[in-house]
Amino acid sequence: MSESSPESPAGRPRRSLLPVAVTGAALLAAAAVAIVLAVPAGDPATAAGAPVIPLAGHQVCADELVVDVLTDDEMARIAGVVHLDPRARKVYTETRTEAYQRFQQIFADQPDLIAGARPEALPASVTITATDGTDLHAWATELTKTFPSATSVRPLIRAEVEPAMAARYGTEGLRPCPPSGEWNG
């Protein structure tokens, strides 16, 4: 037997590993394609986390959770955690200063009320709109336990508040909320 002969030490012809490697790579590629096709894509925004945006300039009308906290740092921390939850559709933030500015706009025709208000009396907040099918009451309970520093965690669900609003203000109901979950300013 010559040294250049492709035989194994036992004297049998050596088989090439190339067909085995190609077959293995093909099986691996097929498995990857099958996994990609089998797993639902979902909402692209949710895959990377829900967007976190300032509440200023947005009139949220969708069912929502509002988490009030004492500091802007705590608000930012909670928003950073909640936006990664697959139940979150959008996460809106409002600092204490922004809350005071909004308060001043809402009550612009009541200068005595504005004069008595202090910016430090208003909370920073995180407002969360949820994906379809999310139980906001259960999620509020969970967030209350997860963030004990929150001064308030409350769901605002249109179907629950609309009858009281109609009775109080004599209206037939709230105007419909568009699919975006916001009214245009």
Q: Radius of gyration over alpha carbons of the chain, in Å? A: 29
pLDDT over 60 at 94, yes or no: yes
Query: What is the number of domains present in the chain?
Result: 1
Here the tokens at position 146 are: 């997860």
Given a cut of 70, whether residue 28 has pLDDT beyond it is no
| Structural domain includes residue 74 | yes
Tokens of residue 12, six digits: 């049998």
Is 20 or 76 the better-scoring residue by pLDDT?
76
103-159 confidence digits (pLDDT tens): 999 999 999 999 988 888 999 999 999 999 999 999 999 999 999 999 999 999 988
Pairing outcome for strands 64-69 and 124-130? antiparallel
In whole angstroms, give the CA distance from residue 122 to residue 79: 18
Domain span including residue 128:
44-183
Specify if 4 maps to a domain.
no
- 167 within a domain of the structure (yes/no): yes
- What is the H or E stretch that residue 19 is in? helix 18-38
Please check whether residue 92 lies inside any domain of the structure.
Answer: yes
107 domain residue, yes or no: yes
Beta bridge partners of 69: 124
Token pair 């037997």 is found at 1
Is 58 within the bounds of a domain? Answer: yes
Residue 69 CB neighbour total at 10 angstroms: 22
Following DSSP, what letter does each residue of 93-115 receive, concatenated?
Answer: EE-HHHHHHHHHHHTTT-HHHHH
44 — pLDDT class (breaks 50, 70, 90): very low
Give me the CATH number covering residue 96: 3.30.70.3040
Contact 67, 121 (CB under 8 A): no
2 found inside a domain:
no
